[in-house]
Amino acid sequence: MRKIILTLLLLLPINTVFAAEPIEIEAAGSLIWQQSDKTYRAVGDATAVRGKLQIRADELIAHYIDTNGKNEIQLLEAKGNVQMNNDGNLASGPYGSYDANSGNVILRGADLKLIATNGDTLTAQQEIQFNDKTGKSSATGAPFLARADRTLAAEKIDAQFIRDANGGWVLQNATANQNVIITTGIGTAEPSIASGSQGFYDAGRGSALLTGDVRIKKGQNQLNGQRAEIDLNSGIAKLLPDIGGGKPGRVKALLYQK
């Protein structure tokens, strides 16, 4: 099927570069220029390409401003079967948007997925935000963070990604809130499951800190406390009592002998 091609200007973040870069939009169906709304709408297997950024969806809407007679794209909206590829960093979902000024990517809907170049994967069922300038990300709606043999789940996850030596994004750390569950040893006979109210995961060091009604389970054995320092590489967990005011609490263990 022959595609319709439109070449426009995409306004890059001001503090990154002071010139506009062309963006090429293609569609198998139609391209509609709505001058009153200052939008271009591409329908039917639509794609947008600017440098290393590629966006594909059933429908693309490009919002522009008129600057000195040139239409400069500020916001790209993608609807239906959205797939984004930014230099090897992948994102997908039913709806997505890219703000050229802020570098902010927003995914909304069910089965959202963000995959970094090294395979670090963040999924959610409501919303994922990722900033392509700062590496900051947040996820709501049963967010789930996975790397190799370990996972992190919670009600809300805020993550920080950093650039690796090749320029790709990799996970540096993540903060998790409410119903936090960290699972390690995935693929083994007895994975370890640690839960708490709040959690901090240091991906670089391979460690985690859990606080608030902490429970660590491995098979039938269970450890209870208020704080836990976990080495995710070795599997060693240090359980600590409450260090707040008043009489200190105690840590407990329930162990079964085989």
Instruction: Report, as ranges of residue numbers, the positions in the chain whose pLDDT lies below 70.
Output: 1-21, 242-258
Confidence (pLDDT) at 243: 63
Please count the helices (runs of H) and the strands (runs of E) in the chain: 0, 21
User: Tokens 């590489």 belong to which residue?
Assistant: 233
In this structure, are residues 137 and 17 in contact, taking their beta carbons and an 8 Å threshold? Answer: no
The pLDDT value given to residue 92 = 97
CA distances from 200 to 115, 119, 133, 165, 195 (A): 20, 20, 23, 25, 12
| Rounded Cα gap, residues 91 and 136, in angstroms | 15
| Cα Rg, the chain, nearest whole Å | 23
This prediction has a pTM of 0.83
Gap between the Cα atoms of 43 and 160, Å rounded: 34
The pLDDT assigned to 173 comes to 95
Residues β-bridged to residue 124:
112
Name the token pair of 45: 């297997």
Question: Which distant-in-sequence residues (6+ apart) come within 8 Å of 221 by Cβ?
Answer: 253, 254, 255, 256
Q: What is the pLDDT of residue 257?
A: 53
Query: What pLDDT does residue 127 have?
Result: 98
pLDDT of res. 187? 80
- Stated as kind and residue range, the H or E segment containing 85 is strand 70-86
d(CA 152, CA 201): 8
| Dihedral sign, Cα of residue 230, residue 200, residue 194, residue 246 | positive
